[in-house]
Amino acid sequence: MAHNVLMIMPGFPGEMPYFTRGLSLQGATVWGVAPGHVSELPELARTHLSHYLSLPSLFTDEAAAIAAIREWTRGVTIDRVSCLWEPGVELAAAIREGLGTPGQSREQARRFRNKELMKLALGEAGVRVPRHRAATTAAEVREGAEAVGFPCIIKPIAGAGSQDTFRCDSMAEVDAALAQLGHIAEVSVEEFIDGEEFTYDTICAGGEIKYFHVGYYRPRPLVARTVEWISPQTLSYRHVDDPWVAGGRAMGEQVLRALGFDTGFTHMEWYRKSDGEVVFGEVAARPPGARTVDLMNFSSDADLFTGWAEAEVHGTFSLEIERKYNCACITKRAQGQGRIRAIEGMDRVRARCGDALVAVDLLPVGSPRRDWKATLLSDGYVSIRHPDWQETKDLADFVGEQLHLYAG
Residues in CB range of 151: below 8 A, 6 or more apart: 167, 168, 169, 192
CATH code of residue 381? 3.30.470.20
- Please tell me the pTM assigned to this model: 0.91
Same domain flag for 55 and 17:
yes
CATH code of residue 149? 3.30.1490.20
Q: Which amino acid is at 89?
A: V
Same domain flag for 299 and 226:
yes
Mean pLDDT across the stretch 190-204?
94
Number of domains composing the chain: 4
pLDDT for 268-318, tens place per residue?
Answer: 999 999 999 999 999 999 999 889 999 999 999 999 999 999 999 999 999
pLDDT for 318-360, tens place per residue?
Answer: 999 999 999 999 999 999 999 999 999 999 999 999 999 999 9
Where does the pLDDT of residue 165 fall: very low under 50, low under 70, confident under 90, or very high at 90 and above? confident
Does any domain span residue 115? no
Task: Note the pLDDT of residue 184.
Answer: 75
pLDDT for 105-131, tens place per residue?
Answer: 999 999 999 888 999 999 999 999 998
More confident residue, 176 or 307: 307
Mean pLDDT across the stretch 251-276?
96
Where does the pLDDT of residue 1 fall: very low under 50, low under 70, confident under 90, or very high at 90 and above? low
Owning domain of residue 55: 3-103
Same domain flag for 300 and 368:
no
Same domain flag for 176 and 216:
no
Give the residue from 162, 254, 236 showing the smallest Cα distance to 199: 236
Sign of CA dihedral 60, 66, 70, 73: positive
pLDDT for 74-95, tens place per residue?
Answer: 999 999 999 999 999 999 999 9
Same domain flag for 197 and 174:
no
Does any domain span residue 243? yes
